[in-house]
Structure 1
Amino acid sequence: MSAMHPVLLASQGLGHAFGGLKVLRDVSFQVPQGSITGLIGPNGSGKTTCFNILSGYLRPATGTVQFAGEDITGASVRQRALRGMVRTFQAPQVFRQLTVLENLMVGGYRHVRSGPLADMLRLAACRRDLDRLEADGRAMARRFGLTPLLDRPAGTLPAGQMRMVELARACVGQPRLLMLDEPSSGLSAPEIDTLREWIVQLNAEGMTILLVSHDMGLMTVAHEVNVLYFGDIIATGDMADIQANPRVRDAYLGA
């Protein structure tokens, strides 16, 4: 896919260590625009560290991160979000005291045009922004089957519904890159099936997705998969290539 599509996200030579423990060593891979790109590996492989570097929560010791051809290695989480990079978390992160609708409205903040003064004075620009955010939130709730829950505090929902709120909130912002961190964690088999369908549909509508997971079944939706093992990328290819790779089978599948 990368031969036909421009690269949206790229890591080059990423390295990181905690104390004397090297977690990443020269990690390089690409996420083509319009793709679902996977990053898999067993526990301790460095997936979380790599994901946190790509999303701006950690600064790499070595290497660079580029987004849409721009070096963003030193960019903050907020700066990356404003560029259209949106991530979810392994444990669903919702604003627990806010309603589901309010959570969804938060997802569109990067498109708000009115400033703090307009907000304080309740100017027309602020009202227009709020009306648009509410409309976008309700529309996304309909897509994700969340309409009956809109008035519920998000913190009262079970894990599967929290996950859908988090995913729907990310989509309200119309991200250029949706970064999913272990999205199937804690979900039931039917919920994972629903999640898989949503990932495929969002990608079919043009959304670029980076999927980090240990779930080999979920990873079948990826066009290309990168296997991380003790800080090194040991294989790249589609799932058929990955599953047939002897080194991956030894390192990851335990075959």
Structure 2
Amino acid sequence: MTSAPLLELSEVGKNFGGFAALKAVSFTVPTGGITGLMGPNGSGKTTLFNIISGFIAPSNGTVAYRGKAIGHQSVQERSLDGLVRTFQTPKVFERLTVVENVMTGAYKKTRSGLMAGLLNTPASRREIDATREAALATCRKFDLGAVAGKQASLLPAGQRRLLELARAYQGDPQLLLLDEPSSGLTTTEIEAMTDKLRLIASEGITILIVSHDMDLMGIAENIHVLDFGRIICSGSMAEVQENTAVREAYLGV
């Protein structure tokens, strides 16, 4: 892991009317590896993810990605630059097959325009075929090869989670923002998710993960804990678990 931060938050705040959801949040995400973000419900985690990914703007402070402030960039621009996000509730295209869902993750990288696609030109067909082959390979990597042709609406919770992760991976992320990726999963499914996150990180993709699951968060090299919109602790899982403020705010002891 290098020392240069891929993502840097500086004094980020967000107000909704008279309510301060975030208050001077500052931390960095190093290039490479897995960073965790924890906190009780209402602590501001989702608001912070929405700011990083561009869905809402901060009231103050800056978000820098690859050393440059990105406050002016749209969600789409950030995605094109390698900042890709998943959501707490899996958002899959129910009527598409699994492989078609994975293919959608790569369309931002394709070159054939709308007209070429409508006219079904040779170049367009070649690109679609190549995109499908790459998506099938990703399906196999994420243990979805056997269901690649199945309609996404028929998948159980664990496979839907893996599908969303596979689609995000197909978008060639440099920074992957994962919002509660183990929510609703069984212990076995969480273990499978953990294995896939380690695989993604081993390929040099940086991960910032929000989760309440202690076992899943154990894979993070560094964890930041939010409470009432402020960072109250940063450190390893062992340091976080022993921190008095965290135990009071997050663990309720």
Counterpart residue number, 1:78: 76
Larger mean CA deviation between 226-235 and 146-155 belongs to 146-155
Equivalent of 1:171 in 164, 169, 172? 169
After superposition, the C-alpha distances for 1:25-49 in whole angstroms (9 at most, x for unaligned) are: 0011111110201110000100010
Between the aligned partners of 2:153 and 2:74, the Cα distance in structure 1 is 27
List gaps (5 residues or longer) in structure 2: none
5 Å matches for 1:199-214? 199-214=197-212
What SS does the aligned partner of 1:45 have? coil
Q: Which residue of structure 2 aligns with residue 132 of structure 1?
A: 130
Give the drift of 1:125.
2.5
Seq. identity, %: 51
Q: Could you tell me how far apart the structure 2 residues matched to 1:192 and 1:88 are?
A: 16
Which residue of structure 1 lines up, in the alignment, with residue 30 of structure 2?
Answer: 32
Q: Which amino acid aligns with 1:189?
A: T
> How far is the alpha carbon of 1:123 from its aligned partner?
2.1
Instruction: Trace 1:1-255 onto structure 2 (pairs within 5 A).
Output: 4-255=2-253
The one-letter amino acid paired with 2:81 is R
- Contact kept in structure 2, 1:179 and 1:211, CA below 8 Å: yes
SS in 1 for 2:200: helix
Q: Deviations over 1:183-242 (max 9, x none)?
A: 010111100011111111211121100001121221110011000000000111111111
SS in 2 for 1:174: coil
Give the number of aligned pairs.
Answer: 253
Indicate the SS of the match to 2:214.
Answer: coil
Query: Mind listing any 5+ residue stretches in structure 1 that lack a counterpart?
Result: none
Moved more, 108-117 or 44-53: 108-117
1:61-108, Cα deviation, whole Å (9 max, x unpaired): 111111111211121111111001111110111001111111010011
Instruction: For residue 253 of structure 1, give the secondary structure of its aligned residue in structure 2.
Output: coil
Structure 1 residue 173 displacement after superposition: 1.6
Q: Distance between the aligned counterparts of 1:220 and 1:170, measured in 2?
A: 22
Q: How far apart are 1:110 and its partner, in Å?
A: 2.2
Task: Work out the CA distance in 1 between the residues paired with 2:23 and 2:232.
Answer: 11
Q: Give distance in 2, aligned partners of 1:121 and 1:5.
A: 49
Q: TM-score, normalised by structure 1?
A: 0.96
Given residue 85 of structure 2, which amino acid in structure 1 is its aligned partner? R
Task: For 2:133, give the aligned amino acid.
Answer: A
| Distance (whole Å) between structure 1 residues aligned to residue 112 and residue 4 of structure 2 | 33
In 1, Cα distance between the equivalents of 2:33 and 2:244? 26
**For residues 201 and 164 of structure 1, what CA distance do their matches in structure 2 show?**
13
| Aligned equivalents of 2:199, 2:5: Cα separation in 1 | 21
d(CA) in 2 for partners of 1:85, 1:206: 14
Query: Structure 2-normalised TM-score?
Result: 0.97
Moved over 4 A (4+): none
Q: Post-superposition shift, 1:124?
A: 2.6
- Partner SS for 1:38: strand
